[in-house]
Amino acid sequence: MKKYYFVIVLSIVGFVVSISSCKKDDDGPTFEESVIKIDSIVHADTVALGGTLSIQFYGVIGDGCDYFSRFEDIPLDDGEYENSFKIKIWRKTETGVECTEQIKYLDGSTINLTGMLAGKFVIKVFQPDDSFIESEVFIKQ
């Protein structure tokens, strides 16, 4: 009787291992990331020290296969103006599928910043061609 239990348990373990080790075809869509070209940014001209600066971004994300992905804070380079903020805005593009021709826009996607120093505050938005859109805000005491 013990022998039968052993054979049954061994058969079940073998079946489970064989099913879990099967390679599944991965023909599903994949995603690629790229930087979105920003057409414009909108923000207040002046913000009180300790206040919140809301920045809205406008630009074309892409077609039906393109989606907003994320904001990326870029570290400042040596020698850059200290009271600055650099950012990249990323899209993800679904590949391997048919896409609609519907154009998608950022439509004012917003980030909120705090902790700026008093005086001139510089916003630099990275573009796909390695340039920047720059804008300034005055942080008053």
- Structure confidence by residue, pLDDT tens digits, 51-84: 999 999 999 999 989 999 999 999 999 999 999 9
**For the segment 7-49, what is each residue's pLDDT rounded down to a tens digit?**
454 455 455 555 444 444 556 678 999 999 999 999 999 999 9
Contacts of 62 (CB under 8 A, 6+ apart): 91, 93, 103, 104
Q: How far apart are CA 41 and CA 26, in angstroms?
A: 40
Q: pTM for the full model?
A: 0.76
Which CATH class for the 29-140 domain? mainly beta
